[in-house]
Structure 1
Amino acid sequence: MPVPVRSRLAHVMGWLILLATLVGAAAADVHADDSRSATVQAPPGVTAGVAVYDRRTNTFTEQHNAHLQFRSASVVKVLIALDHLWNRGPQYTLTATDRARFDAMLRSSDDAAAGHYWSANGGSAIVHRMIARLGLVDTAGPPAGHPDVWGYTALSAADTVRIYRWILDSAPAPVRDLVMGNLRRSTRCGTDGFDQRFGIPATFEAPWAVKQGWAGFGTAGDCTDTSATVAGTTKNAARSADVDLTQRALHTTGTVGADDRSIVAVYTLQPQTTTFGAAYTNVNRLVRSLDVTAGVERTGTWFGTWGSEVRVRADATTGSTTLTRLPAGVEVLVGCQKQGQRVEVPPYSNDWWAYLPLYGGYVTNIYMSSPDNELPGVPVC
């Protein structure tokens, strides 16, 4: 029996719509270029590579040096994790010991765990396998002279978006849930004592999931976290001429919003004289300038701080529990302020305390960069 013309037309139109959808999705990759965005505000002296992708519309909302290669620092741990899981289907189960190591690598950026997998799974071959599997175009393994230096794997913002898209849209559900579940539970402090709450988590309200990266700031930070006990490790410190290792690297990558709607990849290189607190502030300012469709920015007022190992307390007293320590000279978001114990740091004296919602605690206003004891424009708690 002949198929009615209307049915044939509907069939053809259906295939045309499907083809247009596939072409549109592919175009999102094709159009990931190095064009500059009018909204990206890289602070002076900062080299930035940025890509922000809206998974609902399949479009990039930001691109700035999207294909520029950066030494990945700890962001490569996402590829190390994916490679480790690749042939462990269909349940992708890990032993208790392996699971603890895997979780620490992704949640707390544990270097010893990354080193274990790098050695056990073939080193640079991990990167080469993942390039082929995911179709990465800017990614490269560590230089020939430094095959054990996983942190000097080259990554770009565009390839990082592609990695997250594969995890979210193509990976087997157990792999997606295991990797993204860990990134959603990123700890405040890395196992080496560096504060991981910069960039995406500093700027946006939850939900978010992050894998951060840093290199060149020394071997130990000041961050403490009363919610977890972590052991110190040493950051990888080899040298190579193939990627820029002369500047300090600070990267924030991950997803923002319900259903991981926005993928954000921000890579930065900053001068060798940049402190961790200043670099942290630069990345926060850059991320706040971006068009992130799903992002709900945290409310409050940003203030600079001074001093080193400034303690964030559970309440407005020096006797209350220390929650963490601020990176020296970092800019912080203040939600409100209240009067508490008077603190003396000659020649200063102050009984006002600022509440920092990102840290869930209080800092004496003495260490806030403001001329008055009471911070201007900040409400009372």
Structure 2
Amino acid sequence: MNTSMQFRSASVVKLLMVLDFLWDRGPDYTVPAADRARLEPMLRSSDDAAADYYWSTYGYTAIVDRMVGRLGLTDTAPPDDPDFWGYTAMSARDTVKVYRYILEKAPAPVRDFVMSNLRQSTRCASDAFDQHFGIAGAFDRPWAVKQGWSGSSYPDGTCGPVGAASTRTAAAARTAPAPRTAPAAVGTAAVDLARPVLHSTGTVGTGDRSIVAVFTLHPAGTSYGKAYTDIGRLTRSLNVPGGTPPTGRWYGTWSELVNVRSEPVLGDNVRTRLPAAVEVLVGCQKRGATVSVPPYTNDWWAYLPQYGGYISNIYISYPDNRLPDVPLCPSPL
């Protein structure tokens, strides 16, 4: 693995924005209420409107230049186009340095503010993308994550209840413009700005035992479900001290926006929706309402512990109605 390879950072650069804002705000590093209202969703739900505010208010690319000097980053460079903060170049190696600063050198109030918010990462980001890929899917809690994604071929990443609309604003959309036809220079490095990226960064295990940074670049046209599945498999293959793999079996799914329901019945009980054709962890299965997708019918349902609900087995990529290596869900007491 090339830990120094530079990628466009997408939302991972928000870590630098937060640290820049908190730098030298002592002695108690109090975060004003107005800033807390922006910074918390920026860290937890990757809110782009908040990032636009800090980027424009505190100097655009000067933020990156300041943090490069402060943290001794070697693979990080500001974007040539100052309007696109997501085009900041970063590497896995530099991202680990950022987390090591937060955990080992940052003032305690800064460390606690950043890490406590990353531990509260929401499944649905502010732009309605399912951001619990990579670390968040590969390991049981405790973990803390800051994810990144960029690519116009990712409209199938929507999560949330049926009818939920994306909250991406016109200003926030500036972070994910139409891809360019060829890679362009970012700072002093040639960084691919065209192909989709998906990044998972953070800590895993009790006491933030391990720092993990997984940066991925995918072929043009890769669906969100495919990229989500690929980064999940890659992250699960890592030997991460302190990381505990979740219990269950991984299966692929098909169809778009499959409903995850609180119980294995049809009705007004939708908790969220799956990204299209994504791999999911199945904890157990049970019989429930019959679902029909001609010419098939199925009354078996799979419980997805990471989503807290059920999907019909008819949407799982397996030829039989019942999954062979998944236990029955326990009956309620």
TM-score (norm 1): 0.80
Shift of 1:232: 3.0
Say if 2:151 is the partner of 1:212: no
Question: What does residue 87 of structure 1 align with?
Answer: 24
What is the SS of the residue equivalent to 1:259? coil
Question: What does residue 134 of structure 1 align with?
Answer: 71
Equivalent-residue separation in structure 2 for 1:271 and 1:189 (angstroms): 24
Question: What does residue 184 of structure 2 align with?
Answer: 241
Equivalent-residue separation in structure 2 for 1:294 and 1:225 (angstroms): 33
Could you tell me which of 111, 126, 137 is aligned with 1:202? 137
Shift of 1:231: 3.0
What is the SS of the residue equivalent to 1:180? helix
Equivalent-residue separation in structure 2 for 1:331 and 1:344 (angstroms): 21
Question: What does residue 222 of structure 1 align with?
Answer: 158
Equivalent-residue separation in structure 2 for 1:210 and 1:225 (angstroms): 23
Question: What does residue 272 of structure 2 align with?
Answer: 324
Q: Rg: which structure is higher?
A: 1
Could you tell me which of 159, 166, 179 is aligned with 2:114? 179
Could you tell me which of 73, 81, 84 is aligned with 1:149? 84
Matched-pair contact (CA < 8 Å) for 2:115–2:144: yes
With 91-100 and 276-285 compared, the bigger mean Cα shift is at 91-100
Matched-pair contact (CA < 8 Å) for 1:306–1:328: yes
CA deviation vs aligned residue, 1:144-183 (integer Å, no higher than 9, x gap) = xx11210000000010000000000000000000000110
Equivalent-residue separation in structure 1 for 2:36 and 2:65 (angstroms): 24
Matched-pair contact (CA < 8 Å) for 1:217–1:276: no
Question: What does residue 50 of structure 1 align with?
Answer: none
Equivalent-residue separation in structure 1 for 2:15 and 2:154 (angstroms): 22
Matched-pair contact (CA < 8 Å) for 1:309–1:326: yes
What are the equivalent positions in structure 2 for 1:44-193 lying under 5 Å apart?
64-143=1-80, 146-193=81-128
Matched-pair contact (CA < 8 Å) for 1:189–1:225: no
Question: What does residue 326 of structure 2 align with?
Answer: 378
Q: How many residues align?
A: 315
Shift of 1:323: 1.2
Shift of 1:225: 6.0
Equivalent-residue separation in structure 2 for 1:230 and 1:121 (angstroms): 27
Equivalent-residue separation in structure 1 for 2:210 and 2:176 (angstroms): 32
Question: Among the aligned pairs, what percent are the same residue?
Answer: 62
Residues 213 and 222 (structure 1), Cα distance of their counterparts in 2 relative to 1, 3 Å cut: same
Could you tell me which of 249, 270, 282 is aligned with 1:334? 282
**Amino acid of the structure 2 residue aligned with 1:99:** R
**Amino acid of the structure 1 residue aligned with 2:144:** A
Equivalent-residue separation in structure 2 for 1:344 and 1:375 (angstroms): 17
CA deviation vs aligned residue, 1:79-119 (integer Å, no higher than 9, x gap) = 00000111321222222221111101110001110000000
Could you tell me which of 352, 355, 365 is aligned with 2:303? 355
**Amino acid of the structure 2 residue aligned with 1:134:** L
Matched-pair contact (CA < 8 Å) for 2:11–2:86: yes
**Amino acid of the structure 2 residue aligned with 1:171:** A
What is the SS of the residue equivalent to 1:119? helix
Equivalent-residue separation in structure 2 for 1:165 and 1:261 (angstroms): 11
What is the SS of the residue equivalent to 2:247? coil
Equivalent-residue separation in structure 2 for 1:364 and 1:262 (angstroms): 36
Equivalent-residue separation in structure 1 for 2:202 and 2:154 (angstroms): 24
CA RMSD of aligned residues (A): 1.7
TM-score (norm 2): 0.91
Question: What does residue 260 of structure 1 align with?
Answer: 208
Shift of 1:324: 0.9
Equivalent-residue separation in structure 2 for 1:320 and 1:196 (angstroms): 25
Equivalent-residue separation in structure 1 for 2:195 and 2:67 (angstroms): 27
Matched-pair contact (CA < 8 Å) for 1:217–1:275: no
What is the SS of the residue equivalent to 1:260? coil
CA deviation vs aligned residue, 1:251-270 (integer Å, no higher than 9, x gap) = 00000001101000000000
Matched-pair contact (CA < 8 Å) for 1:341–1:351: yes
Shift of 1:218: 5.2
What is the SS of the residue equivalent to 1:355? strand
Residues 297 and 79 (structure 1), Cα distance of their counterparts in 2 relative to 1, 3 Å cut: same
Shift of 1:273: 1.7
What is the SS of the residue equivalent to 1:280? helix
Give ranges in structure 2 of 5+ residues lacking alignment: 186-190
What is the SS of the residue equivalent to 1:106? helix
